Amino acid sequence: MAGISGESLKAALADLESVLPTASLPLAEELFGILATLDSSAGLRRALTDPSRSAEAKAALVRSLVNGKVSAQAGDLAAALAASRWANVRDLGDALETMAATVAIAVAENRPGSSSGGAVSGISGLEQLESDLFAFSRAVDSSHEVQRALSEPQASDAAKSALAMKLVPAAGEEARVLIQQAVSHPRGIKATKLVECFATLAAERQQRWIAAVSVSRPLTPAQLDRLQSGLNALYGRELKVNTIVDPTLIGGVRVRVGDEVVDASVISRLGDLRRQLAG
């Protein structure tokens, strides 16, 4: 998604971040439910993406449709999304789908976990979610009969969901919500393709928990411990640290966490890290 629609989605996801620490699966399910309403009416989609209609009018239209049917939080998120600008009628639905999936993924991310032995609570939940989603895709890809059953237009959503759950009986709640959404409402693509899209979103969010650290020389165990503590304090969460030795590195330390790169140009932050590594 690019252009105006891409900008609108980026802004919506940025606003969503304040919701995610306390997000729940019912919120994701409500957003998917609003998406189903949107997908069921071409006229509604046109009205909500009509550039001549004001943002206030589009938000009010969404609220009138969902009032009393979903939580105020879900209604507010959907209304704010509708009030944004979209290049075409498909983009609004795609954005709502991404937001709903992101909520479900954040629930997995927020699941408590052990930090002993190098496992990090946030990343372990995301890794398990990815594993469950890929297990479903592998199970479908390995059976032509299952593929036909999931693509059968006469089969009910309930039947497809029941079949999907039999394929991954040990899947976590977040994966089950995403897989059921994919098989019930694939929105014009294969269910496994949509599940792969959800897995990609989870992988992208997982990068927020991984610090790729390039250093000019190997670190001692004590230096690694100090590096871990320094990065955890710097980013406000317990990161998984992967170190790479690069003798050509001029600055001594280079850190990438998600899309953020901290290198020698950020003197104050790197200075603190260097001092910790020096002991």
Is residue 172 within 8 A of residue 132, CB to CB? The reply is: yes
Question: Which pLDDT belongs to residue 117?
Answer: 44
Express each pLDDT in 85-97 by its tens digit. Answer: 999 989 999 999 9
Q: Which of 39, 82, 51, 50 is nearest to 64 (CA)?
A: 82
What CA–CA distance (Å, rounded) separates 78 from 12? 10
Please compute the mean of the pLDDT values over residues 117-139 and round it to a whole number. Answer: 83
Q: What is the per-residue pLDDT for 268?
A: 44
pLDDT above 70 (res 273): no
pLDDT at residue 16 tops 80? yes
Least confident of 5-9, 49-53, 174-178, 275-279: 275-279
Both tokens of residue 161?
A: 């969901």
**Distances in Å between the alpha carbon of 240 and those of 32, 62, 215?**
32, 41, 16
Q: Mean per-residue pLDDT for 39-55? A: 94
Predicted TM-score (pTM) of the model is 0.81
How high is the pLDDT of residue 122? Answer: 78
3-state secondary structure the chain: CCHHHHHHHHHHHHHHCCCHHHCCHHHHHHHHHHHHHHHCCHHHHHHHCCCCCCHHHHHHHHHHHHCCCCCHHHHHHHHHHHHCCCCCHHHHHHHHHHHHHHHHHHHHHCCCCCCHHHCCHHHHHHHHHHHHHHHHHHHHHCCHHHHHHHHCCCCCHHHHHHHHHHHCCCCCHHHHHHHHHHHHCCCCCCHHHHHHHHHHHHHHHHHHHEEEEEECCCCCHHHHHHHHHHHHHHHCCCCEEEEEECCCCCCCEEEEECCEEECCCCHHHHHHHHHHHHC
Choice between 2 and 75, residue whose per-residue pLDDT is larger? 75
- Taking the alpha carbons at both ends of the chain, their separation in whole angstroms is 47
Q: How confident is the model at residue 49 (pLDDT cuts 50, 70, 90)?
A: very high
The neighbouring-strand residues paired with 245 are 215
pLDDT at residue 234 greater than cutoff 90: no
Q: What is the mean pLDDT of residues 168-188?
A: 95
- Grade residue 138 by pLDDT with cuts at 50, 70 and 90: very high
Q: Which residue has the higher pLDDT, 277 or 151?
A: 151
pLDDT of res. 264: 46
